[in-house]
Structure 1
């Protein structure tokens, strides 16, 4: 062992036994590195202090100019073999500043060196403290080259390193920003089983949040995984898990493709129901759908609780409406306005000028009126303001001109975009939180929420009068009023089965009431809930499984129809 530790002291002398053509003592260094690695890999290594032997010297060799020396110093190692002694070995390597040279080796010209370095980084990243250090060294950018390699061993180890290091949102964002998602998705096409398995694993990890899942779907990962899973010889557990992870973190696509959201699929702000699409069909992002020209196709239903102050536009003044693609208001600006108002009221400070103008540049009704020149009342309910001077009037004219200009113009940089606000839905969430959430009985919660949803969507509709319920005309008017195919769910006052089912699911998810959302044929949609038989509560022994019910939101709002009963089938089907 002492002889092995002295290999770095040769100082360039040619040693006996050096391979021919290897300059100086590089052959000895390679042999010593391999000896230490083999000793650490040995199953007979029971002393946890032994793997630390020679680590500083090994780390020193990672910085060698000789590619073969760096390859030998970096490996070999197995990523799935994490004995305690090896954990100490990697911690000791990190303490000796091995991470930086290991990441530098990822740009080596030798495939073996890259694979060895990637394997060591994977083993290190399994330990959370070391993973944080690795992430701070821009490992995602360094992995870009190995992901694009033509060597299957390099591809496999690089994908595995992505899976080990992309466990945090910041790391995934770094991978996306440096262009690493594209080559990762391409590896799913590989004919090599190990590459395909590790790439699926990495995609599953990267799909850990909604934004990344949407981006991966846009790059075609979902379609490739679906194709893989249809093949008995190519599919694997990771490809199936990655497919499900992508769908569960992209609920808009999942509902459009499958027509089903389970109770664990929680609808978040920005969810939209495009309608049924076939597998393999691309679902456009919400932004593109909002910017589309108005058409006669089915309205796209949006759930958004991120705005809270702007009232919905009036149905009477249709000429003044601005389409979502041209609107410059945003939920963040509305929240800022609300916070500033609260600060002024709390501190009782003198009112600032121009308070009657919204933060997004739009004018309050009082300021826009030509009759209010001497005194303007702020729309937020603040103190009266005195008339404005010429400079203020010029600013008003400039802002009015800005409102008439489309937000996205050809040749101009694209500004920040926000989903259309839905102040009515925000009110619904507040009211349901106050009235339904405090109810302790789950069955009663469901019944009260169902009646609330039905009341907001046009009330009880007798079966014999269902054909006379003019919901289609109402939706068409909303689309024309908003100049958009996207209609926020809170705007709808005459809703049919699938409108009410979506509103019920969205509100239930906000207050923690478990329910599923199911799409049917011919504008049908319904919610399914699971309830334990009240009569069996408190009984000692095994309880029967919960019973499933459909929530009636149309004919007898609040009624629970036992699944697969005659009443439930009449509700689900024509």
Structure 2
């Protein structure tokens, strides 16, 4: 006969005692384990006292064993308990020095927890950085990977960046670059990129021969998947004069530029140009870049098929223009390329290119002539209809720079510059307004240009800019009114539009008035003599009465005293 074994139906065990639930963590039943972890999570989330209780019951050791459990629900719930326990300083301290020292998998848990800001603070406060850095030299690749990933998350906070530097994190990170595991190498580079934003770390990187190590990665085609991150670290190093000089003296800068010149990877080209842009804000660094002929590299990027690369290259060219020698080289060789790119359908490219042209032509008659010779006037005029305010304002600036040369000014006027400026004068962007008013002043010295502006209704929006609260906009608008008020017809129209009243109001304010507002008022009155006689009660010896003069009668005496004697106590009191 066969003996039958009696099997119980599922038995639901409930407990309100944490010690009993901790014992349930040793159960062979997956369902019991998952529910026990869930119960502990709810218990621990109620307060620090409960976390300390679980700590005393040895819950962490049992939970650790479940982190590698075959059932995903059990694993998930166990990690959740680990995470909630880490929010308590006492349990976190034990977790750090108990789990990090003894269990490799625990570093994975820490890496996940280090993403949260509050947990980062806790790990830092409990001295977790030191054991993590020590574990970078562990023989276990999983420990290395998890530890460096945790450190990467931690150093996103500047306080931790300073701390890891003090704990000498550079040597073990550089050692990880020689790992046979690409993931470990990548995490090490990403961590180096973050911490090398600090100058002190860049110095340590040079002292530990880290720059040579990074250049070797670039020279090795087998590490092509690491080149972008490597360039990010080197890009930070380029921002420091001392570090850059060190790279230059060892021939590293030539190696770097040689590598960049032959690279066809858009991300590498883009990031390299961005690094040069950031570094070029320093005058000494610009000199070094010029000595190493970085202009040649930047100009080559303008031929890229990637719009992002073209934008980055144009921005770098703009930055390098602060160096006069570089400005000369870039203007001579790069202006035809830049003019060609003005016809791009990409608005971001157009804006970056026209910004570069602005910097190239400012205070450089030679480069301004080169733009005209490259047939740049028409595409610049077309750019005044661009969708981005930056493109419009810089196109105006380039055209204004070109206007300083008579042949170019005549050509620009023949393309209807005053008509094209009406739109920018109505812009809501203060930089566009300012540059548009400045351009009106630049081109308004020509009688035909003033007539054009008057006929297309451009005087109205110009007068409106006199109300601007922006000092630069208001000053340039006053300047433009002064220039445009040079002939009688335009002066009369400006007065009709209220320019005279606005200027008088501006000149009564100590804060708002400027030398152009005073000159503009005088110019309008000198070219509208009936208005001047009515306003002032007299004409000066330089005022020549021509046909059409009439006496419309004086304005109210009190107002005349304000206009004429605006600095008197009586006028200020009024």
TM-score category (smaller protein): 0.3 to 0.5
TM-score calculated relative to the size of structure 1: 0.44
Instruction: Choose between structure 1 and 2: higher helix proportion.
Output: 2
Q: Per chain length, whose mean CA-contact separation is higher, i.e. which structure has more relative contact order (CA < 8 Å, sep 6+)?
A: 1
